[in-house]
């Protein structure tokens, strides 16, 4: 008799040893049909895993993340099998399940074109219909290495050699195809059902750009064809919110070949939104004790040599030669820190002056590599709500909290707080050359930061090797419509640069001390934030952010004079208004205004003129009936002053 504790806490007894699959069938018919694998005492296993003793058992289906992983991982193996059949010389690298599906990397002496993917898909469907049983076997380390050597799979050999000595080395076989894999997997290739290949791209072996570029095939898979169709439809829908598409359609920004990559132009409507955000940010920061600075956009190399940028970040900077002497070069600034540090240093500071909080709406330049630019999200010139706080060690935690509070306020005001995730970005101790400062400094700073984050009860994930070169970061991440994650806001604690810049303050004992620096942004960079807002609201911005808040639509040109009066009264109240006085019918004008995503339309005709009112139509709710202009102005001002959010 063995006892299994199920995930709902109930207990189940089985006569003798039994496979996970049989157990699932006995628990329920449905579970037997849908089971993809199991979790036994926290460890994911195949359906064929034999239960021999008491344990916690969780049967996983496609509704469980582990089930999805098993499913997608097997899909990757099927892709690899298909590729090996069509291109026997292809060498296998790795093929994991990832958030958006799965991929498999191959070393081939050509590149996969779209038409190759189609051929591979045909072979995949063959393999699925062959219903090949998938079985697991284990080999001792040396035999495993020899086994893969014999097959000419040099990448697999490298992988095995790098495995920890105590780990069990397992393989999975389906038909003629064998792959090194920890598993678990489905029981048969027939269970993989609906696999779709999405793209072929290049990817460096082990993510190292100095090593060989392999060919990666991305795909996605589901247990039912219908689920796959729905998923593909969802991807299409998401692309309709793409800030690149909406931003260009709504004339928020554009790009021009002759100006260059990563250098978007904000058009009047986009610039208006950024201006609104910037005013809001600067006012809020001032209210919270920040001092505004305005510093140069470029500096001599001397400055960057002190900060470490010249040594560690030179590839990322635009360097401007100055005469014949390379030592006299200027560089456009990639960060504001050294400039604000110099302001700190421009006077003798006392502990009574701290904390000093500097803020600047700062334009930065970063020479991103050419394949990196993306709409407004990755650009070469951007403007960030930058700031640095110089604090004493005692003030650090409180000031850090203050920064997080400011950030939360910003995110709440924009309505995006529930859409972000927190990441604690740490250094990579195995790559010390990328950073300034000692290992001890890094470890203690990270510990300090971790404590603060824990006190703040932020639900963060840790990311090694993601720190800035001068310190660990709290990164606030958001995902774009393609599911790609980017940092929108960041806070960093820096124990290094104060030393490099010889920044000091006099403490209460009259001794010189180094301040701790908090690098932070309150709303991130305006271009990227705008991109995120476009995608968040699909262009239907809240009234306070909408570049055009009201469109006045006269029924005909007989009411032009009244329409002009309405427009001028709104303008006098600083409401952003446009007049559509084209000789078109009202239905047509409404349709256009609606497609332009203007929050309010005011229809004016004979009735309105006689009664001196306006007919209000909202983007969201349609016809709202007539109101006096004063009442409408009051309503819109309420929305603007309170920064009312809307989700449509």
Residues 243-272 that bind RNA (CB under 7 A): 244, 248-249, 255, 257, 260-262
Of 59-67, 75-83, 135-143, 550-558, which segment contacts RNA by CB under 7 A?
550-558
85 counts as binding RNA under rule CB under 7 A: no
State how far the alpha carbon of 198 is from the alpha carbons of 122, 182, 340, 564, in Å: 14, 25, 47, 54
Name the minimum Å distance from CB 431 to RNA. Answer: 8
For 240, 244, 285, 586, 606, the CA distances from 374, given in Å and listed in that order, are 16, 9, 29, 39, 49
When asked if residue 466 is in the footprint of RNA (CB under 7 A), the reply is yes
Which one of 9, 88, 164, 207 is in contact with RNA (CB under 7 A)? 207
Site residues (CB under 7 A) for RNA, limited to 627-646: none
Phi, psi angle pair for 287, to nearest 5° = -65, -25
Selected range binding RNA among 153-161, 452-460, 501-509, 525-533, rule: CB under 7 A:
525-533
Full 3-state SS string of 46-105: CCCCEECCCEEEEEECCCCHHHHHHHHHHHHHHHHHHHHHHCCCCEECCCCEECCEEEEE
SS3 at position 557:
helix
Residue 249 · residue 268 · CB < 8 Å: no
250 phi-psi bin (left φ>0, alpha ψ -120 to 50, beta other)? alpha
Part of the chain binding RNA (CB under 7 A), chosen from 194-202, 346-354, 449-457, 630-638 = 194-202
Q: State the nearest-atom distance from the C-beta of 389 to RNA, in Å.
A: 17
Full DSSP string of 501-566: TT--EE-TTS-EEPPEEEEEEEEEEHHHHHHHHHHHHTT---TTT-SS-EEEEESSGGGHHHHHHH
Within 10 Å of residue 578's Cβ, how many Cβ atoms? 17
Q: Does 112 bind RNA (CB under 7 A)?
A: yes
Site string for RNA, 310-329 (x = CB under 7 A): ------x-------------
Find the shortest distance in angstroms from Cβ 135 to RNA: 31
Task: Pick from 164, 371, 433, 510 the residue near RNA by CB under 7 A.
Answer: 371
Nearer to RNA, 184 or 542 (CB): 542
State yes or no: residue 578 binds RNA (CB under 7 A). no
What is the bridge-based pairing of β-strands 512-513 and 505-506? antiparallel
* 229-236 contacts, C-beta under 8 A, 24 or more apart: 232/196
- Which of 20, 488 has the CB closer to RNA? 488
Query: Which residue of 179, 360, 494, 527 would you call a contact of RNA, by CB under 7 A?
Result: 527
- By CB under 7 A, name the one of 3, 29, 89, 111 that touches RNA: 111
The least distance separating RNA from the CB of residue 243, rounded to whole angstroms, comes to: 9
* Shortest distance in whole angstroms from residue 156 CB to RNA: 19
Mark out the alpha helices in 325-429 (DSSP H runs): 337-345, 396-414
Of the listed pieces 74-82, 220-228, 462-470, 570-578, which binds RNA according to CB under 7 A? Answer: 462-470
Q: Does 200 bind RNA (CB under 7 A)?
A: yes
Give the sign of the dihedral formed by CA 217, CA 220, CA 223, CA 226: negative
For residue 355, whether the previous peptide bond is cis, meaning omega lies within 30 degrees of 0, is yes
Stretch of 28-36, 142-150, 506-514, 519-527 contacting RNA, by CB under 7 A? 519-527
Residues 472-491 that bind RNA (CB under 7 A): 473, 475, 480, 482-484, 486-490
Compare residues 35 and 420 and give the one whose CB is closer to RNA. 420
Q: Which two tokens stand for residue 398?
A: 């409180």
Is the Cβ–Cβ distance between 271 and 466 less than 8 Å? no
Q: Which of residues 113-172 bind RNA (CB under 7 A)?
A: 113-114
Work out how close the CB of 556 gets to RNA at its nearest, in angstroms, rounded to a whole number: 2
User: Of 54, 158, 605, 643, which one interacts with RNA (CB under 7 A)?
Assistant: 605
Say whether residue 621 binds RNA (CB under 7 A).
no
Reduce the DSSP state of residue 152 to 3 states and report it. coil
Q: Output 171 or 313, the one with its CB closest to RNA.
A: 313
Residue 608 engages RNA in binding (rule: CB under 7 A): yes
Minimal distance, residue 274 CB to RNA, in Å:
13
Which of residues 15 and 162 has its CB atom nearest to RNA in the complex?
A: 162
**Contact at 8 Å (CB) between 561 and 568?**
no
Out of 294, 587, 641, 647, the residue judged to bind RNA by CB under 7 A: 587
Burial string for 216-229 (b: 16+ CB within 10 Å, else e) reads bbbbbbbbeeeebe
Dihedral of CA 620/534/418/227: which sign? Answer: positive
Q: What would the two tokens of residue 251 be?
A: 């004339």
Q: Measuring CA to CA, which residue among 544, 545, 562, 543 is closest to residue 553? A: 562
Q: Which stretch binds RNA (CB under 7 A): 66-74, 111-119, 223-231, 442-450?
A: 111-119
Binding flags for RNA, 377-416, as an x/- string (CB under 7 A): xxxx-x-x--------------------------------
Report the alpha-carbon distance of residue 421 to residue 485 in Å, rounded.
Answer: 10
Q: Which of residues 554-573 bind RNA (CB under 7 A)?
A: 555-558
The nearer residue to RNA, 181 or 593, going by C-beta atoms, is 593
Can you give the length of the chain in residues? Answer: 648
């Amino acid at each position: 008799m063995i006892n299994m504790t199920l995930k709902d806490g109930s207990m189940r007894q089985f006569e003798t040893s039994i496979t996970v699959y049989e157990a699932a069938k006995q628990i329920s018919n449905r579970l037997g049909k849908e089971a993809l694998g199991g979790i036994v005492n926290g460890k994911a296993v195949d359906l064929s895993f034999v239960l021999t003793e008491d344990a916690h058992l969780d049967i996983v289906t496609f509704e469980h993340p582990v089930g999805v992983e098993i499913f997608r991982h097997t899909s990757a193996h099927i892709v690899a099998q298909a590729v090996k059949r069509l291109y026997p010389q292809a060498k296998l690298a790795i093929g994991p399940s990832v958030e958006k599906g799965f991929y498999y990397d191959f070393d081939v002496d050509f590149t996969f074109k779209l038409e190759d993917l189609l051929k591979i898909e045909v072979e995949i469907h063959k393999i699925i219909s062959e219903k090949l049983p998938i079985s697991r076997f284990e080999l001792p380390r040396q035999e495993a290495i020899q086994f893969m050597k014999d097959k000419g799979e040099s990448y697999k050999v490298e992988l095995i050699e790098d495995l920890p000595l105590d780990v069990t080395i397992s393989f999975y076989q389906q038909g003629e195809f064998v792959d090194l894999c920890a598993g678990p997997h489905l029981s048969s290739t027939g269970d993989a059902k609906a696999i779709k290949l999405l793209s072929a791209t290049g990817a460096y072996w082990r993510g190292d750009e100095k090593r060989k570029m392999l060919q990666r095939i991305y795909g996605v898979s589901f247990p039912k064809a219908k689920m796959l169709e729905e998923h593909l439809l969802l991807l299409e829908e998401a692309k309709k919110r793409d800030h690149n598409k909406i931003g260009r359609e709504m004339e928020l920004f554009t790009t021009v070949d002759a100006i260059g990559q990563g250098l978007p132009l904000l058009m009047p409507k986009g610039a208006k939104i950024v201006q609104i955000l910037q005013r809001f940010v600067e006012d809020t920061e001032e209210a919270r004790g920040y001092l505004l600075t305005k510093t140069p956009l470029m500096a001599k190399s001397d400055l960057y040599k002190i900060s470490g940028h010249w040594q560690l970040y030179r590839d990322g900077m635009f360097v401007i030669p100055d005469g014949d002497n390379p030592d006299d070069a200027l560089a456009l600034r990639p960060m504001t820190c050294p400039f604000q540090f110099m302001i700190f240093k421009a006077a003798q500071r006392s502990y009574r002056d701290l904390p000093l909080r500097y803020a600047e709406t700062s334009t930065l330049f970063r020479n991103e590599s050419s394949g990196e630019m993306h709409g407004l999200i990755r650009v070469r010139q951007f403007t960030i709500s930058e700031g640095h706080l110089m604090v004493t060690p005692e003030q650090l935690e409180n000031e850090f909290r203050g920064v997080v509070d400011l950030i939360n306020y910003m995110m709440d005001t924009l309505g995006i707080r529930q859409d972000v995730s927190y990441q604690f970005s740490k250094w990579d101790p195995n790559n010390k050359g990328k950073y300034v400062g000692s290992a001890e400094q890094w470890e203690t700073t990270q510990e300090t930061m971790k404590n603060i984050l824990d006190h703040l009860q932020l639900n963060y994930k840790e990311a090694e090797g993601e720190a800035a070169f001068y310190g660990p970061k709290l990164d606030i991440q958001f995902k774009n419509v393609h599911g790609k994650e980017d940092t929108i806001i960041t806070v960093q604690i820096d124990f290094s640069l104060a030393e490099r810049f010889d920044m000091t303050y006099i403490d209460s004992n009259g001794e010189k001390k180094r301040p701790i620096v908090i690098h932070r942004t309150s709303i991130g960079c305006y271009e990227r934030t705008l991109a995120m807002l476009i995608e968040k609201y699909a262009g239907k911005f809240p009234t306070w952010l909408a570049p055009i808040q009201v469109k006045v639509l006269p029924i005909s040109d007989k009411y032009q004079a009244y329409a002009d009066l309405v427009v001028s009264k709104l303008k006098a109240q600083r409401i952003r208004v446009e007049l559509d006085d084209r000789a078109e019918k009202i239905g047509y004008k409404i349709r256009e205004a609606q497609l332009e995503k203007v929050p309010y339309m005011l229809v004016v005709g004979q009735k309105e003129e006689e009664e001196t009112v306006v007919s209000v139509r909202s983007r969201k709710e349609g016809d709202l009936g007539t109101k006096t202009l004063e009442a409408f102005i009051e309503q819109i001002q309420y929305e603007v002053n309170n920064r009312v959010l809307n989700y449509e």
